[in-house]
Chains A and B, each alone.
Chain A
């Protein structure tokens, strides 16, 4: 296959960037999208040109590092798939593919397709954890958790924090991410002691980072590679508004 690429090139956070055109020959349909970039970068290095900077790590869809906005969609056209698991057989020979970085005031571009997602880390640090040491794994059923709750918590915990929700949202809102992180702990007994402060602090940090507000368009859940449900956003709204009303903090 031959693939024409239009890739966002940007030297650093201070300069502005632009789309540059590349042609990649001899692309195998079985390559992943990132492997196609590896091939291109190898060629660029051999030609003494600057390779394209992009984020990647595990390449098996669980780390949340890859972050390309491909032809107008985060992680490309497939549903429930990260960029590393997107294969070139999804495209046709001769296709032109536009690849851009996540766009958000809270995710400044570091270089080319690499954006700074430490805003997510700061949101987690503001409350997305359980402070007490819960010890080793307990015997099954020592702590009674209903199957329905366990399943919902697990589905929320599937969030890999890649930021596709922010990239997809017209408001660059981080609500799906924050709601998944708040939900997974709000649904389980271990999360109860810090339930109120977690919702309040994580939302405050999310707002401070400069993400937009949620307008319930549903683009986030539609594009999420882990298919996190919009129900989590409703739950976050409940958790936050409930905590605002009932918390002892005046």
Chain B
């Protein structure tokens, strides 16, 4: 065995892979949230739909997104494998257990499995449909001088080769953009109370998973210091376990109650 495989297959190395992939996924959560905040813009989905085109066509983003999918799967199944191995370390359990650790830290695999199920639903709701189904198109007509945007849904059955068709009419001083109306799909999906509930509850799983996971990743990396550990723990709790899940949960709730 080379030193690298020996390191990465040791108990600490296995956890190192969990920590590094987990922290990468944390950065993804931040980027994904910031991008999706465009859903809250009251522009008929103009910003969001253009953003969706950019995210699915720009080559660098495409590469990063496939790396991201691979790392999600790796993090999930590697985590389940470690959990399985860890269970083998105690073949006979205790009759009575009084735990002195947090309930989240003990159930990372269960929370992670909930998140994996959530991701399958989430990807098939939007990612799969955006890529593979005949979605409605929408036309945005922007007055270049004033910046006013007029939204007109395209007739049912309309389709186009390119993801985004942009034409400028210099005489009228307008620019028209025709794109797939993912915004409409999101808005429509979140009229279903069951889906909204599922999304909101899943964000609790995100919160609990990151409540332990974020600071745990730093501990695994050996990052423990009286100056910086409080910062890491604060970030993990207030940003990753509170702010980000609230931001995500706000989206289905916004569409259900206000759209």
Contact = CB atoms under 8 A, between A and B. Distances in A.
A242 to B, nearest CB: 8
Given A19-B95, A204-B10, A235 B222 contact: yes
A244 B3 contact: yes
A219 B99 CA distance: 7
Contact of A216 (B13, B85, B91, B216): B216
Task: Specify which of A170, A210, A215, A242 lies most central, judged by the most chain B CB atoms within 10 Å of its CB.
Answer: A215
What band does the interface of chain B fall in when counting residues whose beta carbon is under 8 Å from A?
A: 35 or more
B101 interface: yes
B90 A237 contact: no
Interface stretch (B67-75, B102-110, B165-173): B102-110
Contacts of A170: 86, 90, 101, 106
Interface stretch (A40-48, A49-57, A102-110, A138-146): A102-110
Task: Specify which of A77, A98, A207 lies most central, judged by the most chain B CB atoms within 10 Å of its CB.
Answer: A207
Given A237-B221, A244-B7, A71 B15 contact: no
Nearest to B88: A105
Contacts of A189: none
B256 to A, nearest CB: 36
Given A170-B106, A173-B89, A241-B7, A218 B101 contact: yes
A112 interface: no
Contacts of A233: 219
A219 B97 CA distance: 12
B90 A171 contact: yes
Given A170-B101, A207-B11, A222-B100, A104 B89 contact: yes
A113 to B, nearest CB: 13
A69 interface: yes
Given A100-B94, A172-B90, A216-B219, A73 B100 contact: yes
A235 B100 contact: no
Interface in A121-166: none
A213 B14 contact: yes
Interface in B155-204: none
A72 interface: yes
A128 B149 CA distance: 71
Contact of A168 (B89, B100, B215): B100
Contact of B89 (A172, A230, A242): A172
A237 B219 contact: yes
Interface in B1-42: 2-3, 6-7, 10-16
The 8 closest A-B pairs by CB, nearest first: A238-B222, A234-B224, A72-B98, A212-B89, A217-B101, A171-B86, A222-B100, A212-B86
